[in-house]
Chains A and B, each alone.
Chain A
């Protein structure tokens, strides 16, 4: 089991460029999440997908879009990157059928710099 995998690990973009962050999990989890981590801010939820075919906005969705491609994969897209989107991005997923447990499993992160 690879768990939650993310690609790429590092990325540098220029303002206005676009890119897609990829996330995949092999644990048969229903729910998947995208967070950003900034110093002193903890983790903030960008978007989540409760189940295949559904996506919802989190706390900081502006400037991002997501796609739940199938049960395994959940991608995050920056259409026009801005310096304020410089951050570390984490994908996570949750054990299915235990809605009240909600133990989330995290990927290793993508460190994104927007110049």
Chain B
């Protein structure tokens, strides 16, 4: 069965430092991977996705993610964190198989806290 894991419940970073939010996946076949962000009391917002092609994917708000097939990882990164990046981040993988509805499987989320 497909699954995605976010090993860290919380990540703390100082403003201006680089940040990484980790995600590992388990799928059969080629994975379609996503990152979403949730600000307090809001719905999820799409950040970026990997379908195929370049392993480094660039997304919204200066975020990028690196797809690593050998390590089955899709870590989210940003070179210089902002206080406004503080939010809950979700990794997701497309559920394959009989999936005409484009279902996604979400990780449990990682709370990112950026301090001034």
- Residue positions of A touching B, CB distance < 8 A: 4, 31, 33, 35, 40-45, 48-51, 56, 58, 90, 92, 94, 99-109
Query: Which residues of B are found within 8 Å of A100, using beta-carbon distances?
Result: 32, 51, 94
B106 close to A42 (CB less than 8 A): yes
Does more than half of chain A's interface fall in helix, strand or loop, or is it mixed? strand
Q: How far is the CA of A106 from the CA of B108 in the complex (A)?
A: 17
> Residue of A at shortest CB range from B91?
A42
B43 close to A109 (CB less than 8 A): yes
Query: Which residues of B are found within 8 Å of A51, using beta-carbon distances?
Result: 100-101
Query: Which residues of A are found within 8 Å of B104, using beta-carbon distances?
Result: 45, 102, 104
B90 close to A31 (CB less than 8 A): no
Q: Does B9 contact A (CB under 8 A)?
A: yes
How many chain B residues touch A (Cβ–Cβ < 8 Å)? Answer: 23
B43 close to A102 (CB less than 8 A): no
* Residue from B41, B43, B109 within 8 A of A90 (CB atoms): B43
Query: Which residues of B are found within 8 Å of A99, using beta-carbon distances?
Result: 100, 102
A107 close to B43 (CB less than 8 A): yes
Query: Which residues of B are found within 8 Å of A44, using beta-carbon distances?
Result: 106
Query: Which residues of A are found within 8 Å of B51, using beta-carbon distances?
Result: 100-101
* Residue from A48, A101, A106 within 8 A of B101 (CB atoms): A48
Q: Total A-B residue pairs with C-beta atoms closer than 8 Å? A: 68
A101 close to B100 (CB less than 8 A): no
Assess A31 versus B101: contact at CB under 8 Å? Given A40-B108, A42-B106, A42-B107: yes
Q: Does B25 contact A (CB under 8 A)?
A: no
Q: How far is the CA of A52 from the CA of B78 in the complex (A)?
A: 39
B9 close to A40 (CB less than 8 A): yes
A50 close to B32 (CB less than 8 A): no
B43 close to A106 (CB less than 8 A): yes
B44 close to A90 (CB less than 8 A): yes
A80 to chain B, nearest CB (A): 27
Q: How far is the CA of A29 from the CA of B98 in the complex (A)?
A: 20
- Show 9 residue pairs from A and B whose CB-CB distance is below 8 angstroms, ordered by the A residue: A33-B101, A43-B44, A94-B101, A102-B94, A104-B44, A104-B102, A104-B104, A105-B46, A106-B36
A3 to chain B, nearest CB (A): 9
